[in-house]
Structure 1
Amino acid sequence: MRHLAIVPILLLASSALAGCASFSPDSGMGVVSEVTEQAIGKDVAFVRSVDEAATVDAAVKRLLARNLTADAAVQVALLNNKGLQAAYNELALAETDYVADSLPPNPTFSVSRISGNGASEVERQVVGDILGLATLPARSEIARERFRQAQLKAALATLRLAAEVRRSHVAAVAANETVALLTDAKATAESTAQLAKKLGETGGMNKLDQAREQVFYAEITADLASARQNAASSRERLARLLGLWDGDLGFRIPGKLPLLPKRPLEQPSIEIAAVGHRVDLQIARMEIVALAKALDLTEATRFVTLLDVAGIDKRTHDPEAPPFRERGFDVQFQIPIFDGGEVRVRQAAETYRQAMNRLTEKAVNVRSEARDAYRVYRSTYDIARHYQREVLPLRQIITEEMQLRFSSMQVDVFALLTEARQRLASLRAAIDARRDFLLAQSELQTAINGGGSAGAASTPSSIASAAQPAAGGGH
């Protein structure tokens, strides 16, 4: 009979424990894997043991043994980037918060003993938060929504890294192709400059034309140095995103950008696809649900914020009197004299309205970003296709005709070099056009699935502007 006073508290706590959450085997990574697979068709891994690390390392080694395409680079980053692993650690921490919030509050046990004049008194109390137990289902549901948000945030971080890697890979390959082009141009310019010098020594070319040939060679040399530096920086940025260091820095990437597809993608309902698939929009919707439940809970508990019940067992021992024992309970709650909960309700309501406005704004922006990304995608495809089908073939014809006329002495060296400058400019513009299309293709995927930067969407040209070497004069 000595524990009858605390039985109701323990029974209530036991019933609450039946609905408590437990830790999942994968720390919530199932949602991340599913979203990543559906959006970009890649695998993810949360490394938490030596065996898992060895498996991931072996997979990365296999990928690095081949020429690293954009898809392979994305897969390496998703397996090897430590910043992404830190984001998965955040997800695991969010699960601990979810489990903690779904547990009932721990009861408090206290013992006090007072003695004097030969008598002693022992009092024991077990205090339980009844309000915490009563609101546990609602709080647990809110915590579950927060954990679902954390899962999608981890998926969003995954998509964001994949988009960054794809853009960096395109920029690095384009830089390599530009270096190769300028290397060939420098060899041609060097031969021509040497020829011009010999002609000048024999009186066959005046100083003005000699200076023109020399300055063309000098400009190409400087331009090539800038292009090589840009290629090295682009490669280093890619290596950082892939999480590579030490012995893995010798990875290989293609020397040329891939060819254009035969036809562009048709996206007649691009806005619907974006609104239905954007991960950041799903997170905002979940925030609304969680805040709505929090508002309901706040309104339900606005008048009572503290309700404790204590089971009391008091015994008195006095040698001159018979033993005395008392049992009972004590209830404590706040009286809402000064604050009737209106402040908390108002705060919760305004937070909910704020989230609704932000969700509406995000939905509007998502639709706009999708339309703009598709327009840029089609525009860059048409421009790159124009260079591939019109400009470069015509330039090839002009170059061949100029060489025939030079061989028959119908044009001089200066005219031939003028054409070489123009052809070099067209070839570089064609590389830039293909690079911009591939960047726009990546941005289109990002606009549909999410994973872009927090700021406004950038055009492909602005994305790659920092990676462009300074152009030499006259090109």
Structure 2
Amino acid sequence: MGADRRVAGLVLLLGVVSPGCVSPSMQSDLARVRELTHLPLPQQMAEARDVSTGFPKEVGQLLQQPLTADAAVRIAFLNNRELRASLRDLGVARGQLLQAGVLPNPQVELELRQQEDPSLPFEPQTEIRVEYGLSQAVLSVVRARAARNELEAARYRTAAFVVELGYTVRAAFYAFQAAQQRVAIATQALDAFAAARDASQALFEAGNVPELDVATQDAAYESARATVAQLELEVLERREPLQRLLGLHGEATAWTVTETLPRMAGEEPSFENLERRAVTASLELAETQRRLEGAAQRAGLTRVEGWLPEVSVGVIAERKSPVAPAHGEWEWGGVLHFTVPLFDRRQGTRSAYEAEFDALMERYQGMAIDVRSAAREARNRVQSTALRARQYQQVLLPARQRVMRQTLLQYNAMQLGIFQVLQVRREQLDAELTYVELLREYWTAHAALEALLAGRRTGASMGGPMGAGGPSSLAGGTEAGGH
């Protein structure tokens, strides 16, 4: 019983320096990601779900009505499998943290041997050794600190993915919405081309225009038909990327979206201290900083391990043979094992960690420069698209409408022919096509700026393309001669 008390006391003493238990629950990870992103992430993201179980109830409710950009982002947060996988990937770093803080196991050795006097009957002597590695137990605290930084870095990485997913869904939504709107405008233009073709045919049969006018209007109509077909294909191509982001399949793919892009915001976002705000919010920089702290702690741990002897203490209990003197009694002793760090002082490992730290520091500084540049680029995109879209919204489109009204007045006064009226109508629709594309660029640039200030550079804020739209002109080269 005395030996049991000694061993229990040793384990209890070592337990004082243990880093403690870490909750393996995914809820704590989700709560931390929600805190970092400042987004209302649904609690269902942390719940296990199989494909065969269908979609979350909220997804079905959202799909019953035409989707808005906010509703699409909400569905992606609930249903995107890659996002759910990223949350579960945090379990890897959490498991490594748990393992880093675990105390080493004690070593137990049991030895049975015959007594030294061969004249005595066979009665084995018993010896029990219990040893415990003190060095490994103490260093587990430092290992846990380094692993905790790695877990936090993984959480920052997942939070950045959440922000990027939100931007990507919005950009895909605006692209699909704009494609639908362009098809509707192009269809109206096609009707104008058809009317011009029919009018030229009727005038030709009446002998009022040459056959050249008929051929010109017919070619313009067929060209417009090809453009509408191309835009219709673009709608299908824009739909599928959004479909994948939302994680929808089967009957759930019959969703619709609101028909038109929203008009421009009344006020532009504030650009004051934009670079500083972007750097402060950057989840990428925060992740790298955590990795730097972890690398520094690992390098420090390796340095300590290199000079610290590996010490283990133990208890020896020996029981003599019952026929020997002092038979049946236990004899107690202690043992101390340690290594001499003469040759292997973890020099190579320490050098590798120091090089990793230096490389991360260089990347951190370069990333800070890139984030500042991305902030300026995002500001330029928002300002440029806002200026051009507002020019169309407030000046060009009203001007085209006035031209259309005056043309109709001249036509009613028999000062202009039908071809001039239809040409003006097509030019008006061309301006509307360009305006829709500008609106898409405007809202995509806004989403990229919001994502940057939420902590994540996106493809648009890293110099990537904003996404090419479909044809923005239907009237080029379609003016007819004639009278």
Select 2:207's aligned residue among 198, 203, 206.
Answer: 203
Match of 1:71 in 2: 70
Aligned with 1:256 (options 238, 248, 260): 260
CA shift, 1:305, in A, is 6.9
1:285 corresponds to which of 286, 289, 309: 289
Residue 379 of structure 1 is aligned with which of 384, 389, 392? 384
1:138-177 correspondence runs (5 A): 138-177=142-181
CA distance in 1 between counterparts of 2:264 and 2:472 reads 26
**Cα 1:166–1:321 shift into 2, 3 Å:** same
C-alpha distance in structure 1 between counterparts of 2:242 and 2:13, whole Å:
57
Instruction: Measure, in 1, the Cα distance between the counterparts of 2:383 and 2:80.
Output: 32
Percent pairwise identity:
25
**CA contact 2:448–2:460 (8 Å) conserved in 1:** no
Given the alignment of the two structures, is residue 350 of structure 1 paired with residue 355 of structure 2, yes or no?
yes
Once structures 1 and 2 are overlaid, which stretch shifts more, 13-22 or 227-236?
13-22
Match of 2:344 in 1: 339
Q: 1:32 maps to what in 2?
A: 33
Residue range with higher mean Cα deviation, 387-396 or 448-457: 448-457
Question: Residue 107 of structure 2 contacts residue 132 of structure 2 at CA under 8 Å; is this kept in 1?
Answer: yes
- Listed as ranges, the matches of 1:272-351 within 5 Å are 272-304=276-308, 306-315=310-319, 317=321, 327-351=332-356
Q: 1:114 deviation in Å?
A: 5.5
Matches within 5 A, 1:60-459: 60-113=59-112, 118=122, 120=124, 122-304=126-308, 306-315=310-319, 317=321, 327-453=332-458, 457-458=462-463
The answer to whether the Cα contact below 8 Å between 2:378 and 2:461 also exists between their aligned partners in 1 is: no
Partner letter of residue 31 of structure 2? Answer: G
Specify the SS of the correspondent of 1:411: coil
Out of 358-367 and 22-31, give the one that drifted further: 22-31
Residue-by-residue CA offset, 1:202-221 (whole Å, 9 max, x unaligned): 33222222122112111111
Residue matched to 1:463: 466
Tell whether the 8 Å contact from 1:27 to 1:92 is kept in structure 2 after alignment.
no
Greater CA deviation, 231-240 or 3-12? 3-12
The alpha-carbon distance between structure 1 residues 18 and 294, as it changes in their structure 2 partners (threshold 3 A), is: closer
TM-score (norm 1): 0.88
- Shift of the 188–354 alpha-carbon distance from structure 1 to 2, 3 Å rule, reads same
Report the CA distance shift for 1:415/1:471 in structure 2 as closer, same or farther (over 3 A).
closer
- The 3 A distance-change label for structure 1 pair 42 and 405 is farther
Contact 2:389 2:438 in 1 (8 A): yes
Distance 1:464 1:35 in 2: 29
Q: Report the secondary structure of 1:127's partner residue.
A: strand
Q: Which moved more, 1:149-158 or 1:318-327?
A: 318-327
Q: Which whole-Å deviations, capped at 9, do the CAs of 1:320-375 have from their partners, x for residues lacking one?
A: 88759664444444443433333232222222222222111111111111111011
Task: Tell whether the 8 Å contact from 2:371 to 2:457 is kept in structure 1 after alignment.
Answer: no
Compared with structure 1, are the counterparts of its residues 332 and 102 closer, same or farther at alpha carbon in structure 2 (3 Å cutoff)?
A: same
Closer/same/farther in 2, CA of residues 416 and 302 from structure 1, 3 Å limit = same
Question: Which amino acid counterpart does residue 449 of structure 1 have in structure 2?
Answer: A
8 Å CA contact 2:97, 2:148 repeated in 1:
yes
- Counterpart secondary structure, 2:229: helix
Question: Which one has the largest radius of gyration?
Answer: 2
Equivalents in 2 of 1:99, 1:313: separation in Å?
Answer: 34
Indicate whether 1:11 and 2:12 are aligned: yes
SS at 1:109's partner residue? strand
**TM-aligned CA distance change 1:54 to 1:18, over 3 Å:** same
Contact 1:311 1:330 in 2 (8 A): yes
Contact 2:261 2:440 in 1 (8 A): yes
Q: Match of 2:59, as an amino acid? A: V
Rate the CA distance shift 1:256–1:191 in 2: closer, same or farther, 3 A.
same
8 Å Cα contact 1:104-1:132 kept in structure 2: yes
Q: Distance in 2 between matches of 1:177 and 1:56?
A: 29
RMSD: 3.1
Unaligned runs of 5+ in 1: none
Give the TM-score taking structure 2 as reference length. 0.87
CA separation of 1:208/1:323 partners in 2, compared to 1, >3 Å: closer, same or farther?
farther
Count the aligned residue pairs: 469
Relative to structure 1, is the Cα distance of residues 41 and 391 closer, same or farther in structure 2, using a 3 angstrom cutoff?
A: farther
Quickly say closer, same or farther: Cα 1:453–1:441, change in 2 above 3 A.
closer
Q: Secondary structure at the match of 1:68?
A: coil
Runs of 4+ in 1 over 6 A off after TM superposition: 53-56, 318-322, 470-473
SS across alignment from 1:26 = helix
Note the residue ranges of structure 2 that are not aligned, 5 or more in a row.
Answer: 478-483
CA 1:121/1:200 → structure 2, altered by over 3 Å: closer, same or farther? farther
d(CA) in 2 for partners of 1:232, 1:55: 24
Deviations 1:275-299 (A, max 9, x none): 1112112112222222222222222
Please state how far the C-alpha of 1:456 moved relative to its aligned partner. 6.4
Kindly tell me: are residues 83 and 25 of structure 1, through their superposed partners in 2, closer, same or farther at Cα, counting changes over 3 Å? Answer: closer
> Could you tell me how far apart the structure 2 residues matched to 1:305 and 1:210 are?
98
Task: Supply the distance in 2 between the matched residues of 1:19 and 1:76 (Cα, whole angstroms).
Answer: 38
Secondary structure of residue in 2 paired with 1:388? helix
Aligned-pair CA distance for 1:316: 5.9
